[in-house]
Structure 1
Amino acid sequence: MLPEGTNGTGAVGPEVPMAWLCAEYLADEVLRTGGLVETGSLEFRAGRETLALTIYLCGGPDEPPGIRSEYRLDEWLSRTAYGHPWPEWVSERMAVRAAFERDVTGPDDGLAMARSAWRWLERTELLATDLGDGTGPWPTVLPPDEAVDESAQVWTPAWRLGLPLGHLAIHLY
């Protein structure tokens, strides 16, 4: 990617983090299309940031996010599926990107934005329905005669709410 010029002076300015911006745009489009939560809510932001991280980290470090290819949708679905070790996968992929940045490309604003999103998802807690296992909005296999008490709520990291929300939005896309 060619660096952006600054005020017509010919000086080289910062690179535009297109891979991250494309991932964030795609995540926003998928969640808006699904219509699962209000667009200005913290829940929407949790879903968008979680999905943007997934999209951004699915490709190779030098590969832009795919747009609506069946392969990519399947990959995003598998990464956001219940039982996938998503936080560990994010940490591993971030380390791969950081190594690529260190060894090949130099500083990448997209990776810095992805790190910022990950910090927000880890540190922000949202109040969600407790599905009986104490972990928040993840599906739980309940005995057939036992119902979920939707008034019981628990504080959970934003990614725990954003992950199933993103997964469902991909299905609806």
Structure 2
Amino acid sequence: MTAKLTALEFLQRQIDGTLPADASCDLKYPTAISQLLGFRIASIDKGYACLEMDADAAIHGNQQGTVHGGLLSELADAAIGTAHSTLVEEGESFTSIDLRINFFRPVWKSMLTATARAVRQGRTISHYQCEIVGDGAKLVALASGTIMPLRDSAAKGWGHSADLPPTIRTRP
């Protein structure tokens, strides 16, 4: 069996096609939401991620007939989360604590590229910026987000009722 890889090693090998079938890491890749929406990791490095997707208003549209801003927000959040996952140490996890996005132009059909970079990496809070460009390298949106690492019991999540505090486990 292959040794457990860091998220960075796992994603680098996934991109270059050298990921063994039995490889694993502490985080789940590809994520369910990325598979559902068709996000692809194009490049990865420490504190950096570039994701791509084919956006089409016929599939991802809003009432105006353009690609929904929520999809752009999810793409930015996924790029920021993927960039941060390259910095996660064994036994850690993380959560987004905010995401701000500015939209600059509508999208009807385009290959979108979201590039996220760490602006400041801290022990308790890290800040990221993400630029989303469309065909012709035109700026579509600019996002910033803040990530908080989760350690110890907070990193394990609350996936089972036994993990919940007694006040949440049962309802009156």
TM-score range, shorter chain: under 0.3
**Bigger RCO of structures 1 and 2 (CA < 8 A, at least 6 apart):** 1
Taking structure 1 as the reference length, what is the TM-score of the superposition? Answer: 0.27
Q: TM-score, normalised by structure 2?
A: 0.27
Structure with greater helix percent: 1
